[in-house]
Amino acid sequence: MSVSTVAAAQTICSDISGALPVLGRDVTVPLVTGGEVTYAALDYAASAPALQRVWDDVAAYAPYYGSVHRGAGYLSQLSTDLFENARRTVEEFLDCRPDDQLIFTRSTTDSLNLLAAALPADCQVFVFETEHHASLLPWKDARVTYLNAPRTPAQAVETLEQALATRDPQGPALVCVTGASNVTGELWPVRELAAAAHAHGARIVLDAAQLAPHHPVSVQDLDVDWIAFSGHKLYAPFGSGVLAGRADWLQSADPYLAGGGASRKVTRREDGGVDVEWHDSAARHEAGSPNVIGAYSIASACKALTEAGFDTLVAREQHLIEKVRAGLSEVPEVKVLSLFGDDAPRVGVISFVVDGWNSSHFAAALSAEYGIGVRDGLFCAHPLVRTLLGSDPQTQGECGAPEAAPGEKSLNAIRVSFGAGTPDEHVERFITAVRELVTDGAKWNYRTEDGRCVPAV
């Protein structure tokens, strides 16, 4: 049986909750208070569990694994076909334009750093302070304008238009914006921001790391020039990401990495040096042996989400969002963080703080006493979380490693996130745990170890 036949035989079946099956849904973890419980994975915004479909597809391909692009053997040719078919599958998933290029990278961070390295000379970049560090930091070699956090979607568009109106209209410019916040889950007005960018002669790149796993993303409908996302947030592990969009800046730039695969022809010169002719295709920025399993896993996840139907997935996730928000609203000590307000549309990402609690202490108790995995810290979006917490920009605080001991005030928050594969019981247990911790306190003592809050032994 061929790999294509095996892959075609894979079917998607929903469990009784209507969620796509994911790995780890039956894993049990020990509780510090005794006994075990099924693990409630509520940290999807960091890394989503792998879809069972993805795991099965990769397992079916694994015996056929071979070198890509330059092998004459059957397995090499099959792997090359698999890799390039994965590229076409993801292009279709993103509704790319016919002349767009899709490059497989390691992650969203890698994708945006690749684009940053390909910027034309004297390019000006506009980026909101609300971005994840993957979108905020790669532009160090460009002229960067950091925009203040908007408080409404309309204000985001107005802020960008005002900033672009003052730029040099003759030089290149790029706007970088998220599709959905990794802190608040709120959806950003991408289509309107793209229109504003193009009206002022600028291009726009969309960080879709948190958007693509939850909503359909169309490059053409949103009218963005590039899009970047990560496989590990799209239910596809194995360390792969995507940068897709306009080819011209990518073709004009030096290869992101110099090496085999990126070069079409290399010759010695009489002076002892070498001349290199680089590829103009996506291979220009895919030097070295590509991560074929990572690329295939992304393609498998794209197929699974498409076949399941985003309308169904979005409706189910909205049900979970409403359940979590309603439960948190019943606990007066809980403050949910938001830029755009309670009515703003969002994906399954919610951050909050609890009055009287160190957020790291609270997250540790959720894990140790209830078997619930969440995230605490500044979520690699330090300026945004500081703005939402109303803190001074210079206040100490680290991403995922708070400096305060349990019971002490610290600059960090708690994030709960979910999506396909999350059963109702996980969010119901989470709400119950929040209520009990606030009302009764932790059942165990905790201490700080290596910057993390852990149960005291």
pLDDT in tens, 269-295: 999 899 998 999 898 988 899 999 999
pLDDT (mean) for 345-351: 98
Above 80 in pLDDT, residue 393?
no
Q: What does pLDDT average to over the chain?
A: 91
Output the pLDDT for position 71: 82
DSSP-based three-state secondary structure for 105: strand
Name the pLDDT band for 395 (thresholds 50, 70, 90): low
- The predicted model gives 424-437 an average pLDDT of 98
Give the per-residue pLDDT at 10. 34
Q: Does the pLDDT value for residue 334 go beyond 70?
A: yes
Among the ranges given (164-173, 241-250, 358-367, 386-395), the one the predictor scored with the smallest mean pLDDT: 386-395
Rounded to a whole number of angstroms, the distance between the first and last alpha carbons of the chain is 54
Higher pLDDT, 144 or 398: 144
Higher pLDDT, 396 or 74: 74
pLDDT of residue 168: 83
Predicted pLDDT at 7: 40
Average of per-residue pLDDT across 235-250: 97
The phi, psi pair for 170, rounded to 5°, reads -85, -25
Per-residue confidence band for 1, with pLDDT thresholds at 50, 70 and 90: very low
In this predicted structure, the answer to whether residue 399 has a pLDDT above a threshold of 50 is: no
Query: How high is the pLDDT of residue 208?
Result: 98
Helix (H, G, I), strand (E, B) or coil at 381: coil
Pairing of strands 173-178, 124-128: parallel
pLDDT at 150 over 80: yes
Q: Which residue has the higher pLDDT, 5 or 455?
A: 455
Q: Which of 96, 380, 399, 453 is catalytic?
A: 380
Helix (H) or strand (E) holding 351: strand 349-354
Give me the pLDDT at residue 65, please.
Answer: 95
pLDDT for residue 297 is more than 60: yes
Proportion of the chain above pLDDT 90, given as a percent: 82
pLDDT at 402: 53
Question: Which residue type does 340 have?
Answer: F
Q: Is the pTM of this model over 0.85?
A: yes
Residues 6+ apart with CB under 8 A from 180: 186, 187, 188, 210, 211, 214, 215, 346, 347, 349
Distances (CA, A) of 53 to 12, 30, 57: 7, 28, 6
pLDDT at 180 over 70: yes
Name beta bridge partners: 104. 242
Cα(339)–Cα(132) distance, integer angstroms: 14
Residue 234's pLDDT is 98
Whether the pLDDT of residue 317 is over 60: the answer is yes
φ and ψ of 74, to 5 deg: -60, -45
Say whether pLDDT at 401 is over 80. Answer: no
Quick one: average pLDDT of 151-164? Answer: 98
Per DSSP, helices labelled H in 231-288 are 248-252
Exposed e or buried b for every residue in 373-401, given b needs 16+ CB within 10 A? Answer: bbbbbbbbbbbbbbbbbeeeeeeebeebe
Burial class (CB in 10 A: 0-12, 13-18, 19+), 247: middle
What does the pLDDT average to over 332-357? 96
Q: What is the pLDDT of residue 9?
A: 29
Q: Give me the mean pLDDT over the 218-234 stretch.
A: 98
Please say if the pLDDT value at position 4 is more than 50.
no
pLDDT given at position 286: 87
Order across the sheet with 375-377: list the strands: 334-336, 349-354, 413-417, 375-377
Work out the average pLDDT over 127-149: 96
Token pair, residue 171, equals 């030089």
Burial 185-211 (b: 16+ CB within 10 A, else e): bbbbbbebbbbbbeebebbbbbbbbbb
- Is the pLDDT at 15 greater than 60? The verdict is no
Of the candidates 172, 104, 118, 186, which has an alpha carbon nearest to the alpha carbon of residue 143? 172
- Residue 96 known to be catalytic: no
